[in-house]
């Protein structure tokens, strides 16, 4: 019997959080979630729908609730087993917010001010530069450190936040002893960065103002095909990987991840063919891998009782693990522990 996160003493712990966008992109799927399904057999994995992080941007309450449940359902539809992993909603485990406050007191203003994401979101949401947006990395550190995570799957653009998490953990440990496990990055070699179909210099994102720039996991097949037909390439017509061909390289990367090809195999397969054939085959490969995901997502979202049970049971499991770390931290900093 495979041990659960709260029971295991041998397997390394992996933590990752994902924003409740409601519908994940192909970039989320190929860049992270596909890899998560492999990791669940080798590690104790904790996957969190980070709804508290989402509050740094103004949300429609009803829409946020809907997207949070859909995000969890999509994780399950993509192949994450709630019996092998701990899959839960962040706000269902109050220890995240409690530890975040304590870590705020061990995080420096200059460190938070240097965060690239804070600068970018401040520019995009200049009317709402709130304290939560500034302190976001401290909450992210709490997310990770609560579960004594050994590894955190991150893209290259997220390493800055993980480095701050490591700095906070090392600082706290230097003051109070070995309280936190200092996490390392887990960066998969393939499929780590799927770029926008319209701006291949930027990462594929649901927040892209151009809907043709991203593929949602629930996009119908005809919509997916249209988006790939409109994908940006270049004018020389040659299908090959090259730094000066970001659009073509992005399509080839997606094809490799979706069709299970190596870069060398993909280049050979498209040798002598044009961009039309490339786009069509990439679209076909993507449609094919998303079919079972979409079918399972439809089944799960129709079973409200099952999803509520998964959220309740997994949040309880996560809370028991988190409580151990939180009590240790509270004791170290001098708080009076509540008696049961």
Ranges of H-type helices in 78-158: 95-104, 109-113, 116-124, 131-146
Task: Please indicate whether residue 304 is annotated as part of the active site.
Answer: no
Catalytic position from the list 121, 227, 245, 279: 121
For CA atoms 80, 81, 86, 92, the dihedral sign is positive
* Two structure tokens written together for 170: 């090392």
Of 7, 59, 65, 15, nearest to 36 by C-alpha is: 15
Task: Please indicate whether residue 206 is annotated as part of the active site.
Answer: yes
CA angle 265, 271, 276 (to 5 degrees): 105
Taking residue 335's Cβ as centre, other Cβ atoms within 10 Å add up to 13
Instruction: In whole angstroms, give the CA distance from residue 248 to residue 266.
Output: 12
Per the CB < 8 A criterion, the answer to whether 314 and 86 are in contact is: yes
Phi and psi of 35, rounded to 5°? -65, -35
Strand ordering across the sheet containing 13-18:
85-89, 44-49, 13-18, 151-153, 184-186
Q: Is 110 exposed, middle or buried (0-12, 13-18, 19+ CB in 10 A)?
A: exposed
Of 35, 46, 65, 38, nearest to 8 by C-alpha is: 46
Q: Where are the beta strands (DSSP E) in the chain?
A: 13-18, 44-49, 85-89, 151-153, 184-186
Catalytic position from the list 12, 66, 206, 327: 206
For CA atoms 315, 318, 324, 327, the dihedral sign is negative
Of 164, 48, 59, 129, nearest to 95 by C-alpha is: 48
Per the CB < 8 A criterion, the answer to whether 198 and 232 are in contact is: yes
Catalytic position from the list 203, 227, 245, 279: 203
Task: Please indicate whether residue 121 is annotated as part of the active site.
Answer: yes
Instruction: In whole angstroms, give the CA distance from residue 56 to residue 121.
Output: 9
List the catalytic residues: 121, 203, 206
């Amino acid at each position: 019997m495979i041990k659960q996160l709260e029971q295991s003493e041998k397997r390394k712990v992996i933590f990752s959080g994902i924003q409740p966008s409601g519908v994940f992109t192909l970039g989320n799927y190929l860049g992270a979630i596909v890899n998560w399904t492999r990791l669940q057999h080798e590690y104790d994995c904790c996957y969190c729908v980070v709804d508290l992080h989402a509050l740094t941007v103004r949300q429609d309450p009803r829409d946020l609730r809907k997207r949070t449940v859909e995000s969890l359902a999509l994780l399950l539809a993509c192949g994450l087993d709630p019996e092998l992993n701990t899959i839960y909603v962040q706000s269902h485990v109050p220890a995240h917010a409690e530890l975040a406050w304590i870590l705020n007191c061990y995080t420096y203003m200059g460190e938070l001010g240097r965060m690239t994401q804070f600068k970018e979101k401040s520019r995009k949401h200049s009317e709402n530069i709130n304290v939560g947006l500034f302190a976001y990395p401290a909450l992210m550190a709490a997310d990770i450190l609560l579960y004594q995570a050994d590894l955190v799957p991150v893209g290259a653009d997220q390493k800055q936040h993980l480095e701050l998490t490591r700095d906070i953990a090392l600082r706290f440990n230097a003051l109070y002893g070995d309280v936190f496990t200092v996490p390392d990055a887990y960066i998969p070699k393939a499929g780590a960065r799927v770029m926008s179909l319209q701006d291949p210099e930027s990462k594929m994102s649901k927040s892209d103002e151009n809907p043709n720039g991203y593929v949602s996991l629930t996009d119908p097949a005809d919509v997916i095909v249209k988006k790939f037909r409109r994908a940006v390439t270049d004018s020389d017509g040659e299908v090959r990987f090259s730094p000066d061909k970001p659009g073509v390289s992005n399509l080839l990367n997606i094809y490799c991840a979706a069709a299970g090809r190596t870069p060398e195999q993909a280049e050979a397969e498209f040798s002598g063919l044009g961009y039309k054939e490339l786009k069509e085959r990439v679209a076909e490969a993507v449609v094919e891998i998303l079919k079972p995901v979409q079918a399972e997502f439809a089944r799960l979202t129709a079973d409200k009782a099952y999803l509520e049970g998964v959220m309740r049971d997994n949040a309880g499991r996560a809370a028991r693990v988190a409580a151990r770390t939180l009590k240790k931290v509270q004791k170290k900093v001098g708080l009076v522990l509540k008696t049961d």
